[in-house]
Amino acid sequence: MSGISERLPAIQQSLADAGLDGWLFICFQQNDPISLAFCGLDGKGLVSRRHYYFVPRQGAPRKLVHRLETWMLDHLPGEKAEYLRWQELERALPVLLAGATRIAAQVDPGIGLPTVSRLDVGTADFLRGQGLELVSSAELVQQFAATWSPEQLESHRRAAVHLRDIVHQAFEEVGNALRDGRAIDEYTVQQWIMQRFDANGLTTHAPPIVGVNAHSADPHYEPTAKANSPIRQGDFLLIDLWAREKAAGSIFADITWCGVCASEPTAQQQEIFAIVRDARDAAVEFIERRYPDRVVRGFEVDDACRKVIDDAGYGEYFFHRTGHSIDTSDHGQGANIDDLETHDTRPLIEGTGFSIEPGIYLPDEFGVRLEINVALTSEGVEVTGGERQMKLLRLL
């Protein structure tokens, strides 16, 4: 994401379009990753005092910094004021926001979007007490933090192809080991994938999920060197992997495939796979029918996907959202495909990408998740990576 300096004219135009008088950013420790990122302070080890940056709809931005760290926002445009005592802060904040009545901030109504709701209740109460209306910055965040440049789109496409190739190679490696009678386990496969990431110029924030049988029914299972299971003939195997190119600003890809360590799946495995596959494709088809001529909102896609699983009688076994935003973080700042954990009303907009990953998880048996990535471009809806899994892989 480019910082405020590079996008100031565009941000101010969007504020004007939304009828907002400005956008307030508050940088304090790690409380608000959005403010830290926009103000170019993400990754900075020490932001120990509260610093404020206000972008008005017109004119130069304004800064309010603590005297202990007066330099903290010097890299950003705008005039600077300082405070030391809390009494000075109470007097300086209204001055910082002078002339504004309706501002964007990192808030969201009720128990809405936790990735956006970062403003502490005390500051929110103080600002409202000054007569300010606080409006959720969620759509602004998506517009300026979650959209991809053409170069970033290409980085995502390359990463998606690498992941597709690596996941096929990983399943092939398991099949070869089983046919040769070699011992193999979840952790070994996980570490093999990590080596392939490095060899292909990829990086990730956490190792992939490799889960057999009941472990595949745990969406956040993590095999380790000390806690993992062997992979044997007859097992069900799920592999979920995510990575991006190592260059700064590259976009993640994130996919999940499933297979059976057998020549054919069981009837139950085939049934569950087909339901999840159809739910995934229903989500994509829903977006394709409406984009770009009609607004498509995250919760609506979740509903379309979830209906297939509900109608098949397995709704209680699909217990996470259908998908998440993707950008320079695997879980990005854009609209999620979600009407379960949150009611995400943000529109899916051009230049963003997200996962579609329905699943059915049968406790103590197995779980199927089929994850793909979708990019919305000027040309339409693109499922990246070049391939959707249409049938269970047979490893023997």
Crossing angle between the packed helical segments 86-96 and 121-129, to the nearest 10 degrees: 60
Angle at 84 between CA 81 and CA 86, to 5 degrees: 110
Tell me what pLDDT residue 3 has. 67
Is the pLDDT at 285 greater than 60? The verdict is yes
Average of per-residue pLDDT across 132-154: 97
Confidence of residue 78 (pLDDT cuts 50, 70, 90): very high
CATH number of 4-145: 3.40.350.10
- What ranges do the domains of the chain cover? 4-145, 147-394
Angle at 127 between CA 121 and CA 133, to 5 degrees: 100
Any idea how long the chain is?
Answer: 396
* DSSP-assigned letter for residue 230: B
DSSP per residue, 29-97:
TTS-HHHHHHTT-TT-S---S-EEEEEESSS--EEEEEGGGTTTTTTS-SEEEEE-SHHHHHHHHHHHT
How is domain 147-394 classified at the architecture level of CATH? Answer: Alpha-Beta Complex (3.90)
Q: What is the pTM of this model?
A: 0.94
Report the distance separating Cα 61 and Cα 187, nearest Å: 51
Report the distance separating Cα 40 and Cα 38, nearest Å: 5
User: Which segment of 107-111, 143-147, 230-234 scores lowest on mean pLDDT?
Assistant: 107-111
Tell me what pLDDT residue 199 has. 98
Average of per-residue pLDDT across 194-223: 98
Tell me what pLDDT residue 1 has. 47
pLDDT (tens digit per residue) in 321-363 = 999 999 999 999 999 999 999 999 999 999 999 999 999 999 9
**Helix%, strand%, coil% for the chain, nearest 5:** 35, 20, 40
Is the pLDDT at 303 greater than 90? The verdict is yes
Confidence of residue 122 (pLDDT cuts 50, 70, 90): very high
Report the distance separating Cα 2 and Cα 13, nearest Å: 16
Torsion of CA 127, 130, 131, 134, to 10 degrees: -10
User: Which segment of 8-22, 35-49, 183-197, 210-224 scores lowest on mean pLDDT?
Assistant: 35-49
Please state the separation of Cα 86 from the chain's center in Å: 36
Average of per-residue pLDDT across 96-120: 94
